[in-house]
Structure 1
């Protein structure tokens, strides 16, 4: 990557910081330039062309994980993806034998969860001076990168993401130490599945966690607690132009609708954590490994 993000990023002002603290999310246009977006999309095209996923691991991705973790093989494929580049698929893209029934480049829901560690293009953007400067402005002293993913939101079939909080899946003590950085690689509209947020909902804690289960359990992961019911009228849409970034507090409630349009909505997203005086829960599905500890954002 060219590193041009530092020249083109929107300046994070004190007013921006206050809005993020008040609302739990913030949209900044012009973070990447169009050429940088195109380069990330082209690199992902190359990765998908070379993907080789065993049939027993060809699983649908869902924030509820109700479909994707039905078998031991698929659950293991997911839970061990934190330090790898793996592929998760949309619903109804395979026949009963696990063969693709749509072009494979249109079948993928997302690729994760360690693009930032294993691919130079995504690592460069993740650790760019622009990202570092944003995070420093928000006051993070020792941020580490937890995970990264490329999200496709395929035309016509890009699946709905139900209301959720990232802290459900990435739990820390104390809460409030995780932030998502979501970069639009194409224009994002209400028609192709933009993010929707409930402003201020990051101030109410969480009621559900997604955890690893004790050894010997029937499944490798499970939910503890229940997701709250949310008034649909409280959500507001956040369209963003190609190259814009959305900063997402770990506890803010957000969702996106199915993409019923004829254009995709590609995005690159990653999560960071303030590691100073923070305990990463050993129950989280995502765990650092000796080979791949959570890397410092500032190095």
Structure 2
């Protein structure tokens, strides 16, 4: 499934596609469960927390208690355009959800089975993880017409370890095209673009909240990302494909103005031998630990 050629391309480009990684039957099972979760979403039982990615140089990010408590739960986060200025839904509830997360590998058996499959473990071994740990598992819906754009970013900014170790496993559950907001990335940017900032919980008197902070000794040494943005590549893939994304590679996705959704299941792996500190926004409940793969 994950060949030496895939590994070579991943090391070189920071991103690689493995077509037909999961079967149509598995895709159907995952989609059926997602549909069930979307139909069960009741705004009366959940806060209308929108998912705002913002620009990494700004403070436009979510950071309420519902967000912080989602590490081991099935939580619902809404598209920004699904909620009006008065905090009311402007579309039906099941079409308002941007993502479901961040603990699907713990709460949902069908996602847990896939996440802990031998094929996934084989990739982790070939990527030379010594103690692979799973975090931030989620479904991203990219809803028709209102699916928000995600700006250029590096996953290790949000899933920071010392040294860096994050890798994204991104599974397409629908065909992902330019029209419905497929992934885009800059090949080789993981080798040329240092991670200079990190996304952390705020520690001031404002309580809940998040902020971007400089990484000492890295931000000062960086004179820009050093990458030619014109080299970006669009990743159009069929349902069932797996996209591996190095935590340091620059990537994004555009707004979905099309009439078709773009469902994916994604999770990240970090190495348990690396330091994952208490400033990271995602923390397991007291006494817990990041899930061993």
Shared fold (TM-score greater than 0.5)? yes
Alignment partner of 1:34 is 2:24: yes
Contact 1:60 / 1:67 at 8 angstroms: preserved in 2? no
Out of 87, 101, 109, the position equivalent to 1:120 is 109
Contact 1:61 / 1:89 at 8 angstroms: preserved in 2? yes
Contact 1:60 / 1:68 at 8 angstroms: preserved in 2? no
* CA distance in structure 2 between the aligned counterparts of 1:169 and 1:192, rounded to whole angstroms: 24
Alignment partner of 1:239 is 2:223: no
Q: Unaligned 5+ residue runs, structure 1?
A: 1-10
Number of the residue aligned with 1:144: 133
* CA distance in structure 1 between the aligned counterparts of 2:61 and 2:154, rounded to whole angstroms: 19
Matched residue count: 281
* CA distance in structure 2 between the aligned counterparts of 1:232 and 1:116, rounded to whole angstroms: 34
Out of 249, 262, 265, the position equivalent to 1:268 is 265
Closer, same or farther: CA 283–181 of 1 in aligned 2, 3 Å: same
Bigger drift between 112-121 and 91-100 goes to 91-100
Bigger drift between 180-189 and 138-147 goes to 138-147
User: C-alpha displacement at 1:157, in angstroms?
Assistant: 1.1
Number of the residue aligned with 1:156: 145
Q: Unaligned 5+ residue runs, structure 2?
A: none
Q: How high is the TM-score relative to the length of structure 1?
A: 0.87
Over aligned residues, Cα RMSD in angstroms?
2.1
User: C-alpha displacement at 1:107, in angstroms?
Assistant: 0.7
* CA distance in structure 1 between the aligned counterparts of 2:188 and 2:249, rounded to whole angstroms: 7
Q: 1:142-189: per-residue Cα shift (whole Å, max 9, x none)?
A: 1011120100011111110000000111111111x1111000001111
Contact 2:77 / 2:100 at 8 angstroms: preserved in 1? yes
Q: What is the SS of the residue equivalent to 1:61?
A: coil
Q: How high is the TM-score relative to the length of structure 2?
A: 0.89
Q: 1:21-41: per-residue Cα shift (whole Å, max 9, x none)?
A: 111111000011112112111
Alignment partner of 1:283 is 2:273: no
User: C-alpha displacement at 1:215, in angstroms?
Assistant: 4.7
Closer, same or farther: CA 156–254 of 1 in aligned 2, 3 Å: same
Closer, same or farther: CA 125–197 of 1 in aligned 2, 3 Å: same
User: C-alpha displacement at 1:67, in angstroms?
Assistant: 5.1
